[in-house]
Amino acid sequence: MQNIDFYERKNIRVMPPQFTDTYDPEYLPRVAQHTPREMERVRKKASRAFFLVSALCILCFTAGIVIGIKFSGGTQREIVDKKTFNAVASIGKNLPFLGGENRVSSDLKKNIFPKSTYPYVIRMTKDFEYAESQKIASYLSQRGHTVILANNEGKIRIFIGPYQSSGAARDALQKISTYDKYSLAENTRIIKR
Distances (CA, A) of 114 to 66, 110, 126, 147, 189: 49, 9, 25, 15, 20
pLDDT at res. 152: 83
* Contact (CB, 8 A) for 157 and 122: no
pLDDT at res. 27: 61
Q: What is the chain's percent helix, strand, coil content, to nearest 5?
A: 50, 15, 35
Spatial CA neighbour of 137 closest among 113, 159, 153, 111:
159
| Whether this model's pTM surpasses 0.85 | no
Residues 71-98 pLDDT 10s? 776 666 676 777 887 777 777 776 666 5
Name the amino acid, one letter, at 156: I
Residues 126-145 pLDDT 10s? 888 888 888 888 888 888 88
Spatial CA neighbour of 101 closest among 92, 110, 111:
92
The whole-angstrom distance between residue 137's C-alpha and the CA centroid of its chain comes to 26
- Say yes or no to pLDDT of 28 above 70: no
Residues 166-184 pLDDT 10s? 898 889 888 888 887 777 7
Query: What mean pLDDT value characterizes the chain?
Result: 77
* Domains delineated in the chain: 114-192 (3.30.70.1070)
* Contact (CB, 8 A) for 159 and 122: yes
* Contact (CB, 8 A) for 98 and 92: yes
* Contact (CB, 8 A) for 102 and 94: no
